[in-house]
């Protein structure tokens, strides 16, 4: 299985940049696409798709969110951070079955 590793938590100040990382133990690239996706989950809610194929913004997601990376190293950036962004962020790969998720990074405000 492809293992995705995220830092458990990150604290940033309002208006600053948050960078959340996700590292995989196998390459998730395939024919020019990186099969890496990002989700936001707030307490008591279902996950919400933010980014698909590493860098594509999902419908309705503000441009403050961006994703980049390839191979085994990926980042989700929120710039600038707003109060409503406090949540847990998960990465997910769909390069190989079983589809797997990272452990999540909880974003908190300083």
Partner 1 sequence: EVQLVETGGGLVQPGKSLKLTCATSGFTFSNAWMHWVRQSPEKQLEWVAQIKAKSNNYATYYAESVKGRFTISRDDSKSSVYLQMNSLKEEDTAIYYCTRGYPGIDWFAYWGQGTLVTVSS
39 binds partner 1 (CB under 8 A): yes
Among 98, 73, 89, smallest CA distance to 12 is for 89
- In the DSSP assignment, the letter for residue 47 is -
Residue 13 vs 25, nearer CB to partner 1:
25
Please state the closest distance from residue 22 (CB atom) to partner 1, in A: 13
Strands 18-24 and 65-70: unpaired
Q: Which residues between 53 and 82 bind partner 1 (CB under 8 A)?
A: 53, 58-59
Which one of the spans 14-22, 64-72, 74-82, 87-95 is the region binding partner 1 (CB under 8 A)? Answer: 87-95
What residues contact 60, with CB distance under 8 A and at least 6 apart? none
4, 68 Cβ separation under 8 angstroms: no
List contacts with partner 1 (CB under 8 A): 33, 35, 37, 39, 46-49, 52-53, 58-59, 88, 90, 92, 94, 97-101, 103-104
């Amino acid at each position: 299985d492809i293992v995705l590793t995220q830092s458990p938590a990150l604290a940033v100040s309002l208006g600053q940049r948050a960078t959340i990382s996700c590292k995989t133990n196998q390459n998730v690239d395939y024919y020019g696409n990186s099969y890496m996706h990002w989700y936001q989950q707030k307490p008591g809610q279902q996950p919400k798709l933010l980014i698909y194929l590493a860098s594509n913004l999902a419908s309705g997601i503000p441009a403050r969110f961006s994703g980049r990376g390839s191979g085994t190293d990926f980042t989700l950036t929120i710039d600038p951070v707003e109060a409503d962004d406090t949540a847990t962020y998960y990465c997910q790969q769909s390069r190989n079955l079983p589809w797997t998720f990272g452990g999540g990074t909880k974003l908190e405000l300083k």
